[in-house]
Structures are given as structure tokens and as C-alpha cells.
Amino acid sequence: MDKKQAKARIEELRKKTEYYAQKYYDEDAPEISDFEYDMLMVELRNLEKEYPEFISKESLTQKVGGNVKEGFEKVTHEVPLQSLQDVFSIEEVEDFVEHIEQKAEENGIKNVAYVVETKIDGLSSALEYKSGKLIRGATRGNGLVGEDVTENLKTIKTIPKEINDKIDITVRGEVFISKKDFEKMNKEREENEETLFANARNAAAGSLRQLDSKITETRPLDIYIFNVQKIEGKKFTSHYEELEYLEKQGFNVNPVRIYCKNVEEIKKAIHKIGEMREQLTFGIDGAVIKIDDLNFREILGTTVKVPKWAVAYKYPPERKETILKDIICQVGRTGVITPMAILEPVKVAGSTISKTTLHNEDFIKEKELKIGDTVVIQKAGDVIPEIVEAVKSKRTGKEKEFQMPTKCPVCGAETVREEGESAVRCTGIECPAKLYRNLVHFVSREAMNIDGLGENIIGQLLDNKLIENIADIYTLKLEDIASLKKNGQKFAQNLIDSIEKSKQNDLYRLITALGIRHVGGKASKLLAKKYKTIDNLAKADYMELQEMDDIGEIMANSIVEFFAQDQTKDLIQKLEKAGVNTKALEDETTDERFSGKTFVLTGTLEHFSRKEAEDIIEKFGGKASSSVSKKTDFVLAGEEAGSKLTKAQSLGITIISEEEFEEMIK
């Protein structure tokens, strides 16, 4: 490679690493694996070493990745939170130790000791204590300036608010989510049709960097402390001694730390951590080798980016070949159908893998997977097994193409994949796999509003086989419900009364409760008003539906497909038989004073909630919209009205106060 080619490649690598680093550090949404990123950095570092004239202080080899997220206060670290120099082979570890021993000899230091620790895969943070009390916590950021996340860190139960000694101390630790909690989080997100976290590290980083600490509090964050950054009134000579002191102060200290006297012991420690990696409750992405002598550390010093007294050994991802025996499909609570790979059992990174998710139809096509293929499998982030690729050279011609099912494998209803989505879904409302989620929605406040029938009670009813479909709610007996709680007679009677009351709900509530894709509360009211009965709505055709205001092509198609299902027809018959109202109730008022008028609400109202105001507008024949346009007639502006008010003023739209609105509805 000549100089011109080297310069071009260096610039290309800098752009790539900057982009991937931003995705990883700032957006907590990585696009490539840690190993792939590391290999790009190794290539960049080697090229810059070979062609030093092209080194730039803006290169990620010369600085720490990460920026301060908008919305957080900046914190300047008194002691920089540096990164570590990565090494990828035992030979490089030996070179590091040899260099350290040489420096020790030059400085008259004998018997250099080391501490080998697990490199926890999380988000590095600093905790600052004054007179023993926690006063501030910050993320690493770019190493020099981080984000003030004090309130978020205070939600982590293993962080002491006060330590034993009344001293000033700043410590550094790694915030993480355990393997078990990470799997549980992703399972819940999958059930809720939310984007899955790529790995535990990014789940932890995204959770800690929430602008709302109440969200952080719901996440299972933990922390291990691994360093004293600064301490007043106390002096240490050994890193190992520091860690023992921190433990006595009540800190949750990195549990894996091995004291080593020479390179052979270091290699054994690395090997030992590698072997125990699978049994650890937390994810790691390497082993850190540090000099124990703090005075020697001072002599060695640091570069702009990394200390000269430590390196991080990165374990290579273990990959194995196995056979993709079959692909089966599982149906989640929301009806999403997920293909699952059935594998010839193979041991990877300490555990036997016999199946793994294939995510969706697009993933299978992208990897060009066929049933019967020899595939390469690895563990992503030490936790999730994944198929990397098919070994096409080993195909025999007997491999079979896989097709996503057109019928639900659980209930036999039609499946659908909507435009712009990667998921294939079951459309059956009585599908057993979806029953719990459908029940929770059916009884919710916005739908049938059955007070007392919460998620916990629904779970118990299903577990005890007291209900097997939605309509069974209306056949529940007093004694069935009472059996769920100690002294449950009163609770049971209240719930029976609430169930009976729900039978008299207006039609729009029933339409909402059915959970038709894309049809929310507003659309349900429009449909109830136009069609008057559930039977009329069930007969509506696509053309007339999509001609209605606010009912577009996607919604119209979804409604037609829903009512064409045998399961839908069966459920409606059961509900009618149970006495549930399926007709629109007569509107008490014929006052259409807002007919043809569109309102937009912005800011905080004193006497109405947003929903109450919207209901009043709709009651008088008006329409409540979420966005301001030329078609808007009125903008109802409360306290702290924002950009909608500004836009309305620029368009010359009539702006009314809450008092003026109250006059209009008298």
C-alpha cells in the first residue's frame, strides 16, 4: 500500500469508526458487533503507526468516544475517565509485561505485581462523595466531560448514598444489567412489540441516560466499582488495597480480581476468567491487566487517551458450525410470529445451544438461510446465541427454502405482514397465544372499562382456567372470583357489578375493545356514529370506509380483514348472547355547535384534562386534531403552550383561552 492509498484508507476508517462510535456511545444503538468495531480500530491504529504523518488528534485512536447528550448538565472530571489500550492476543500481553518489567528495571523497581480483573460490559461512571455523602454522579462522556446523571444513579440500589468514612472521595465504576435481567427485559419488549436492545451494555447505557429518572428506576441497573479516582486525607500504595478499602465502605466492588506476580500468573488468570465467563451473572468483554503499585503507575503516566500501566485483553468471539435442522414459528402475546432455528446441539462459549431466534422473515432472507444448512453460530454479547452465516460451500442440494406461514400455527387464522413492517402477525382475536394481551386491552379504561379486572386478576383467571376466551368474562360466577383472594367476597361482588355495568357500554367502547389494528378511540367513535351497530360495521366495505374522514386506506383494510375472520364473528356472537350491547346509544344532545370545526389543544389546561376537553369538542360535533394546519379553526392554548401556538399565530388561526372555551360550551 503506497502513501496515497494509506491516506485514503485512514480517512475511510476514521469516518467509519466515528459513525459506529456515535451509534454505540451516543445513541446506544450499535450497528456492528464489538469485535467488528475492534478490528476496524486495530487496522486504523496499525496504519497510523506505519504512516505517523497522517495521525490526527481527531482520530478515535487519540481520543475517547462519546459526547454529552442534550438535556444533561455537563460535568468536567477532575481526574479524566480514560479508556484502555486493547490487545487481542497473549503475545501482546507478553509484550506489555516485558515493556513494564523493562521500565521497572530502569527505575530501580523490583517484583512488579499486577491485578487482573473482569472488564465489565457496561457504561463507565464516576461517583463523587463529600464528607461521606453522595453529591454527584456522572457518565464518562469523552473522558474529560461527562453527563450529570446523579438522580438516575441514585435509583441504583447498590450505590450507597452514604459511606462509612466521612471523607471526600471520587470512585469509578461500571453500570451494567445482569444477563438474566437483560433476557427478561428483551422478552418483555418483544411481547410489547418494542425494539429489542442489541446487547446488555447498550440497554444499561440507554437506561442510565434517560432524561426522566422515573424510567431509569424501572430498569434493573447495577454497578461494580473498580477504581479510586481521587481521595482526600488518605493514601494508598496498592490498587488491591484500594479495592479492599472500597468494599469496607459499602461499595459493590468488582468481584473478580486476581493478584498476579508474573506473566505466567497473568496468563493463567486470563485463562481462568475465560473459563468462568459463562458462569458469571454479568457480561464481560475482556480481562483488564493493571499494575498494582500506584507509585509506579505515576512514574509510567498516561497518553491523552489511555494509561500506560494497563491493557485490556479482548477474548475472541467463539464460533462453531452446526446444522440448521428446522425452522419453527412461535406466536407472541401480541400476535407477532417469530421464526425459531432448531439446531443440532453445539457447545458455544460454555453452554449448549440447540435453538435461537431468527427474528423475522427479512433476517432469514438477508442471511440466505435454508433448512438443512450448515451454519456458523456465535454468542452475541456473551448472552444471546445468533446465526452468523450459512456455509454455502457445504450445501448438498437437499436444503429446503423456508416460507413464513400464511395461517397462524396456533389458531389457524390468517396472517398478515403490513407494508413498512418486518413482522408477520396472527389476525385471530381468539388466538390462545394472544389471549392474555387481548383480555388486558378489552377490559382497559379506554375500552370496556371493567374496574377491578387488572392484569394480575386476568393472569389468575387464566391460570385457574376460569376463562378461555374474551366472552368468558361475562360467564364468571361470584364464587369463581372470590376464590382468587382471601376474604374475596366483597371484591368479587364489586367485580361482578363492574362486568354487568360494562354490558351497557356505548358501541364505540366495544369497537375500541376489539383491538382492531390501527383503530383507536377516536376512530371507534366515528365508526360507531356512522354505522350504529356492530353488524352494520362488520358488513362495511373497503371503499365506503376509506372515504370517511380520518379513516384512511390502511385502517379501512384492517377493519375489513378483521371482520372477515371466523374468530371475530364467533366472538361477537358470544358477546351478543352474553347480553353485551352492540348498538350505538342515543346521544343525549343534538347540539352540533362545533360541527365542521377543528380544534387543536396545546399547553396545560387548569379545569380540564386534555381528554375531557377533546370529548366535549366531539360531543358538540367538532373534531380534535393533534397538529396545526390551515384547516384548523381554533387553537385552545393553556399554560406553557409551545410550538403549536407559534405555528397557529403564523397562520393567523384563531387562538382561544380556557376561559373563552368555557364560554363557548356554556
Residue type for position 207: S
Residue 567 has phi, psi (to 5 degrees) of -65, -40
Cell 452446526 belongs to which residue? 322
Order of strands, edge to edge, in the sheet holding 598-602?
A: 623-625, 598-602, 634-637, 654-656
Query: How does DSSP assign 309-340, residue by residue?
Result: TEEEEPPPPPEEEEEEEEEEEEE-TTSEEEEE
CA atoms within 13 A on the CB side of 642: 6
Cell 364560554 belongs to which residue? 663
Distances (CA, A) of 71 to 10, 146, 210, 334, 662: 34, 12, 10, 34, 36
Residue 308: count of CB within 10 angstroms of its CB: 17
Query: How does DSSP assign 128-178, residue by residue?
Result: EEETTEEEEEEE-TTSSEEEB-HHHHTT-TTS-SB-SS---EEEEEEEEE-
User: Under the phi-then-psi rule, with left for phi > 0, alpha for psi from -120 to 50, and beta for the rest, what region is 315?
Assistant: beta
Question: Greatest CA separation found in the chain?
Answer: 97
Residue type for position 70: E
Order of strands, edge to edge, in the sheet holding 169-177?
A: 133-139, 123-130, 169-177, 221-231
- Runs of H (alpha helix) within 359-426: 361-367
Q: Helices 34-50 & 3-21, crossing angle to 10 degrees?
A: 150
Query: Do 147 and 141 form a contact (C-beta atoms < 8 A)?
Result: yes
Closest CA to 13 of 54, 50, 46, 41: 41
Q: Report, as residue numbers or ranges, the catalytic residues.
A: 119
Query: Do 297 and 236 form a contact (C-beta atoms < 8 A)?
Result: no
Rounded Cα–Cα distance for residues 311 and 290 (Å): 7
Would you state the torsion angle of the CA atoms of residues 453, 454, 460, 465, taken in this order, to the nearest 10 degrees?
A: 50
Cell 413492517 belongs to which residue? 421
Would you state the torsion angle of the CA atoms of residues 273, 279, 282, 285, taken in this order, to the nearest 10 degrees?
A: 40
Cell of residue 98, nine digits = 516485558
Query: How does DSSP assign 483-515, residue by residue?
Result: TTSTT-HHHHHHHHHHHHHHTT--HHHHHHHTT
Rounded Cα–Cα distance for residues 595 and 618 (Å): 9
Order of strands, edge to edge, in the sheet holding 114-120?
A: 85-87, 310-313, 284-291, 114-120, 257-260
Closest CA to 80 of 32, 174, 143: 143
